[in-house]
């Protein structure tokens, strides 16, 4: 063993120095309900995302362009992992292109991951749960902040509303002054928290949903720092069941019919990098920081 290490060390100095991968040191402290983190085995073999037989993490069929497979939508940009990804998981980038048209929704360009085990009236919408996700920007696939984006959200079981949205860009009908912000907005359009997009570091969010009290609490940090409570608990209507969605939904400009109409540029190549996606059980007050 010592011999092998010596040989490997000798070999690696002869080649280019290997890229240093910075390890995050956050620890998940509460029971995981849905684990959406990406194991290295999946990034090495993205076709695992394409079928129910192999995709143990996300729904292989939704919500995406009909002709696209998740193995082509998702990219694996490498680099430093986010706070809760540790040594076994990697960042994932959700991308959109001109083909990112779900069913007949020609106004949107969208690709959204849904936890495989999430269901309209399931564990994800009961008790007290905390959704964790980290975001990072890809300079090669920037979002166009003239448009409104939904990045992470929860749609009700009857598809009539979203209980809350994590968004960026120019929210239709609002000023473009804070288009560089990530914003957490409730179903009535009320802003619960906003923070400027960081173009280089991981930004870590945790949203705690108390379904018994209809309250939302937001935790946030940058880089590898521990999360801190930044907003709430705020009273907001979390009723209606449904599902989480994580990715990109880009709305068009210049229309009142955003689902079907409006303007989208051609030759789109945009992406949002995610890390550390999981839902944990906070019924006893536990939140991983
Ligand atoms: C951003 O979107 C607007 C509206 O679709 C478009 O006019 C503009 O060219 C886009 N900018 C970039 C840099 O893609
Ligand atoms: C590790 O965790 C501590 C405490 O949360 C934090 O201050 C530090 O920046 C983290 N990262 C590294 C690389 O030590």
Q: How far apart are CA 221 and CA 181, in angstroms?
A: 15
Q: Is the pTM of this model over 0.75?
A: yes
Q: Is the CB of 56 under 6 A from ligand 2?
A: no
What is residue 87's predicted lDDT score, i.e. its pLDDT?
Answer: 87
What is residue 141's predicted lDDT score, i.e. its pLDDT?
Answer: 98
What is residue 91's predicted lDDT score, i.e. its pLDDT?
Answer: 98
CATH fold of 21-281 reads Jelly Rolls (2.60.120)
CA of 144 to the centre of ligand 1 (A): 6
Q: Is the CB of 224 under 6 A from ligand 2?
A: yes
Q: How far apart are CA 47 and CA 29, in angstroms?
A: 31
Q: Which ligand is the nearest neighbour of the Cα of 255?
A: 1
Of 71, 60, 47, 162, the C-alpha closest to 114 is 60
Confidence band of 24 (pLDDT split at 50, 70, 90): low
Mean pLDDT of the chain: 92
pLDDT above 80: residue 170 = yes
pLDDT, tens only, 181-227: 999 999 999 999 999 999 999 999 999 999 999 999 999 999 999 99
Ligand 1 closest atom vs CA 264: 5
Q: Which ligand is the nearest neighbour of the Cα of 176?
A: 1
Q: Is the CB of 68 under 6 A from ligand 2?
A: no
Q: Which ligand is the nearest neighbour of the Cα of 146?
A: 1
Q: When comparing pLDDT for 22 and 134, which is higher?
A: 134
CA of 226 to the centre of ligand 2 (A): 7
pLDDT, tens only, 237-289: 999 999 999 999 999 999 999 999 999 999 999 999 999 999 999 999 999 99
What is residue 106's predicted lDDT score, i.e. its pLDDT?
Answer: 95
Q: Is the CB of 226 under 6 A from ligand 2?
A: yes
Q: Is the CB of 265 under 6 A from ligand 2?
A: no
Could you write out the three-class secondary structure of 106-130?
CCCEEEEECECCCCCCCHHHCCEEE
User: Taking the mean position of all CA atoms in its chain, how far away is CA 2?
Assistant: 42
Planar angle of CA 209, 23, 223, nearest 5 degrees: 50
Probe residue for ligand 1, chosen from 145, 265, 267, 268 as the CB with the greatest number of ligand atoms within 8 Å: 265
pLDDT, tens only, 68-118: 999 999 999 999 999 999 889 999 999 999 999 999 999 999 999 999 999
């Amino acid at each position: 063993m010592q011999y092998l290490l010596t040989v490997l060390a000798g070999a690696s100095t002869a080649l280019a120095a290997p890229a240093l991968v910075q390890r995050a040191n956050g620890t998940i402290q509460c029971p995981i309900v849905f684990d959406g983190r990406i194991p290295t085995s999946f990034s090495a073999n993205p076709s695992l995302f394409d079928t129910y037989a192999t995709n143990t993490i996300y729904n292989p069929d939704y919500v995406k362009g009909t002709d696209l497979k998740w193995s082509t939508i998702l990219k694996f940009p490498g680099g430093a992992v986010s706070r809760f990804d540790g040594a076994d998981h990697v960042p994932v980038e959700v991308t959109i292109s001109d083909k990112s048209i779900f069913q007949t929704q020609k106004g949107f360009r969208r690709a959204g991951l849904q936890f495989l085990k999430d269901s309209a009236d399931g564990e994800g919408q009961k008790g007290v749960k905390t959704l964790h996700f980290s975001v990072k920007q890809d300079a090669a696939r920037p979002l166009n902040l003239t448009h409104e984006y939904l990045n992470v959200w929860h749609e009700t079981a009857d598809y009539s509303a979203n209980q809350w949205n994590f968004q960026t860009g120019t929210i239709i009908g609002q000023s473009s002054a804070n288009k560089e912000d990530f914003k957490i907005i409730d179903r009535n359009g009320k802003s619960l928290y906003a923070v400027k997009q960081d173009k280089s570091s991981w930004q870590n969010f945790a949203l705690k949903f108390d379904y018994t009290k209809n309250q939302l609490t937001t935790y946030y940090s940058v880089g590898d720092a521990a999360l801190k409570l930044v907003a709430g608990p705020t009273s907001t209507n979390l009723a209606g069941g449904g599902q989480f969605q994580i990715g990109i939904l880009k709305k068009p400009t210049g229309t009142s019919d955003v689902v079907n109409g409006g303007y989208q540029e051609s030759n789109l190549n945009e992406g949002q990098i995610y890390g550390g996606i999981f839902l944990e059980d906070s019924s006893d007050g536990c939140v991983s920081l």
